[in-house]
Amino acid sequence: MLLTPPYAVFIGDATDPLGLKMACSIAYWRPELCVGEIALPSCSTTVGLPKVSLEEAVNQGAKSFVLGFNNAGGHIDEKYLPEIKAAVAAGLDIINGLHDKLTDIPELVNLAEQYGVRLIDIRHPTTRFKTGNGQKRSGKRLLTVGTDCSVGKMYSTLAIHKEMQEQGMSATFRATGQCGILVAGEGVAVDCVVADFISGSVEQLTPDNNAEHWDVIEGQGSLFQPAYAGVTIGLIHGAQPDALVICHTLRREFMRGMPGYRLPSIDETLTVNLLHARRTNPECKVVGICVNTSAVDEQTALETCQMIAIETGLPCVDPLRHGVSKIVANL
Amino acid sequence: MLLTPPYAVFIGDATDPLGLKMACSIAYWRPELCVGEIALPSCSTTVGLPKVSLEEAVNQGAKSFVLGFNNAGGHIDEKYLPEIKAAVAAGLDIINGLHDKLTDIPELVNLAEQYGVRLIDIRHPTTRFKTGNGQKRSGKRLLTVGTDCSVGKMYSTLAIHKEMQEQGMSATFRATGQCGILVAGEGVAVDCVVADFISGSVEQLTPDNNAEHWDVIEGQGSLFQPAYAGVTIGLIHGAQPDALVICHTLRREFMRGMPGYRLPSIDETLTVNLLHARRTNPECKVVGICVNTSAVDEQTALETCQMIAIETGLPCVDPLRHGVSKIVANL
């Protein structure tokens, strides 16, 4: 699925950016693709884009209307239907990263047909995938893996991709989740692929390429996550990574949503991920560690990263605080 | 999904039982649930059931018409539509284990509605699953895992279940693939579940039970299979197995359909499966090894199993040749 920028980013009546993962991702990583944010009068937050009306967005060339929010259940809130319908009627594609599908709402389907626009449910792949074949592909691949979900894999992957581009390397960011897909404009929501086709979908997402080209692949889940490890191992096998980057977050004792399940150590994470990665790429190496240090102050963050670097012999950074140049230099 | 026996097993114009995986499974494991096999005049093979016509099957009380074949592409061959339609018109549910869906054929859907029968595509779960929660459940669970796909996991699981029942143990076979589902009459085709819900679907399939009750769970794929490891790790995490049984087949050098990928050793298989199983059940143990020895003679089979038993310190049998009582005794 290929998305069409520029985007009008709809943030509804949000009062807190925490519920605006989609909007925050595109506003942070691709502000140049956004004409602005559209908010309801009761909205009391911002993702940092200019506030615009639907009409202004259209006049400034917006081609797609992005539903900027996420919620636990993945539901499309019916209260937003009037704004969505108005965007359809204004000729914009609608981009939805929630579990619920726009295409399950008949009146929207009819309206979209009438106005010739697309309802794009990016969590629901429309491609027919093949099962994995494990055959070696040309080009290089880097994959982020984590001690847990939500430890900064997307951020780290995008930071590494940006650093590579700034250094003049040939690199493509490969998105595997809804926010990444919005940022990249294309990709596969790997957690929504049928189980038999997980690694196959990743093989298709990261095809043969020039010998010096890097696919920089967004990781998902964790091999240690009792809910989502299937997604992770399929990603690892399908990616055939040459390089792994371990992502971790400080001060998280238990796995997200899994009381009683302790986070694995970085060392354990490194060993087990490498074990599986070497199944499809025997040359795979871990090239660095990204730590989300937001729970501690600058000085502690720096000391912690230095300590991990000494213990593991690998560059260790907080991508947000320290950048990722040390990791890219280690490729 | 709950299937309704007795079954009329349709084997079409097959010339070889190799293409009749569904039919062979039900005929071997649950002959008492089959009224017979229905063949076209050009059929030159049998799965060992009495040959019956559709009319005879109905007169003998058949409630479901089982499509007995499998093929690489998973396609429903159009040439069989007349027989399928006749079965619908005779009031039978149709049970299909192919990737292709009966419910995608409008004329069949209409006919089924007219005659009040079900079109059951057992590879396509209709349940809405939750994501895994990793919470400890009561009761005991055994799971088969393998060095590869198609090494006899279903056979081994059913043999262990049968042995347990014969010994008066409280046990339920839990099916995770199309043939197993046909044998059990219910289950979840785990390889067809959306990636995010693999382990969750297995948690639902094997719920809380009496402390002494065993769920005997059919394994799928292999952690070492570059195409399907996602299914396997989700099964392992969701099953929270107390006991693992390793399945292996002799004289297979490379993974099925994966030239260049060598089979892992039994030792490696044991270590890596245990590593992941202990994530959700720290008490998990490997309790035995099942080897498909069909490639060698009786004497070599026995000696090979004895050698593996000595090397691993675990009971090792060919379930077909030696039975599985040694493994059940080791629980």
Query: Is residue A130 assigned to a domain?
Result: no
Tell me, what's the pLDDT at B74? Answer: 80
Q: Please check whether residue B222 is in contact with residue B145, taking contact to mean a CB–CB distance below 8 angstroms.
A: yes
Query: Is the CB of B195 less than 8 angstroms away from the CB of A199?
Result: no
Tell me, what's the pLDDT at A17? Answer: 86
Tell me, what's the pLDDT at A125? Answer: 87
Q: Which residue has the tokens 């997307």?
A: A154
Query: Is the CB of B229 less than 8 angstroms away from the CB of A131?
Result: no
Distances (CA, A) of B120 to B75, B96, B101, B102: 15, 6, 8, 7
Query: Is residue B134 assigned to a domain?
Result: no
Residues of B in contact with A131 (CB under 8 A): 227-228
Q: Which of B72, B87, B121 is where one domain is finished?
A: B121
Q: Please check whether residue B237 is in contact with residue B199, taking contact to mean a CB–CB distance below 8 angstroms.
A: yes
Tell me, what's the pLDDT at A73? Answer: 72
Residues A73 and A161 in one domain: no
Query: Is residue A41 assigned to a domain?
Result: yes
Q: Which of B61, B92, B121 is where one domain is finished?
A: B121
* pLDDT tens, residue by residue, B132-165: 999 999 999 999 999 999 999 999 999 999 999 9
Residue of A199, A230, A260 lying closest to B227 (CB–CB): A199
As a whole number, mean pLDDT of residues B94-99 equals 94
As a whole number, mean pLDDT of residues B203-226 equals 98
Tell me, what's the pLDDT at B126? Answer: 85
| Sign of the CA dihedral with A167 first, then A171, A177, and A178 last | positive
Positions in chain A short of pLDDT 70: 1, 72
Tell me, what's the pLDDT at B13? Answer: 92
Q: Please check the confidence at residue B234 and state whether its pLDDT lies above 90.
A: yes
How many Å apart are CA B261 and CA B223, to the nearest integer? 13
Q: How many CB atoms lie within 10 A of CB B305?
A: 22
Interface of B with A in 176-205 (CB under 8 A): 190-196, 198-200
Tell me, what's the pLDDT at B128? Answer: 86
Query: Is residue A129 assigned to a domain?
Result: no
Residues A236 and A109 in one domain: no
Residue of B224, B227, B279 lying closest to A131 (CB–CB): B227
Distances (CA, A) of B55 to A247, A329, B87: 64, 75, 9
**Identity of residue A232:** T
Residues B104 and B150 in one domain: no
Q: How many CB atoms lie within 10 A of CB B227?
A: 28
Query: Is residue A154 assigned to a domain?
Result: yes
As a whole number, mean pLDDT of residues B251-271 equals 95
Structural domain count, chain A = 2
Burial A205-219 (b: 16+ CB within 10 A, else e): bbeebeeeebbbbbb
How many Å apart are CA B175 and CA B188, to the nearest integer? 6
Residue of B132, B255, B261 lying closest to A227 (CB–CB): B132
* pLDDT tens, residue by residue, B44-74: 999 999 999 999 999 999 999 999 988 767 8
Residues A117 and A145 in one domain: no
Assess A270–B contact: CB distance below 8 Å, yes or no.
no
Residues B321 and B232 in one domain: yes
Q: What are phi and psi of A84, to 5 degrees?
A: -65, -45
For residue B119, what are the β-bridge partners?
B94
Tell me, what's the pLDDT at B326? Answer: 98
Residues B144 and B190 in one domain: yes
Would you put residue A61 in left (φ > 0), alpha (ψ -120 to 50) or beta? left
Query: Is the CB of B196 less than 8 angstroms away from the CB of A192?
Result: yes
Residues A101 and A161 in one domain: no
CATH of the domain at B256: 3.40.50.300
How many Å apart are CA B196 and CA A220, to the nearest integer? 10
Q: Please state, for a pLDDT cut of 90, what percent of chain A lies above it.
A: 93
Query: Is residue B1 assigned to a domain?
Result: no
Residues B289 and B162 in one domain: yes
How many Å apart are CA A287 and CA B160, to the nearest integer? 45
How many Å apart are CA B245 and CA B242, to the nearest integer? 10
Tokens of residue A302, six digits: 């720096």
Q: Which of B90, B121, B152 is where one domain is finished?
A: B121
As a whole number, mean pLDDT of residues B269-286 equals 98
Q: Which residue has the tokens 């079409």?
A: B12
CATH of the domain at A13: 3.40.50.720
What's the domain range around A182? 140-329
Query: Is residue A181 assigned to a domain?
Result: yes
Residues B78 and B212 in one domain: no
pLDDT category at B271 given cuts 50, 70, 90 is very high
Residues A69 and A160 in one domain: no
Q: Please check whether residue A250 is in contact with residue A304, taking contact to mean a CB–CB distance below 8 angstroms.
A: yes
Query: Is residue A155 assigned to a domain?
Result: yes
How many Å apart are CA A255 and CA A272, to the nearest integer? 17
Q: How many CB atoms lie within 10 A of CB B260?
A: 9
Residues A107 and A163 in one domain: no
Query: Is the CB of B227 less than 8 angstroms away from the CB of A132?
Result: yes
Residues B96 and B208 in one domain: no
Assess A222–B contact: CB distance below 8 Å, yes or no.
no
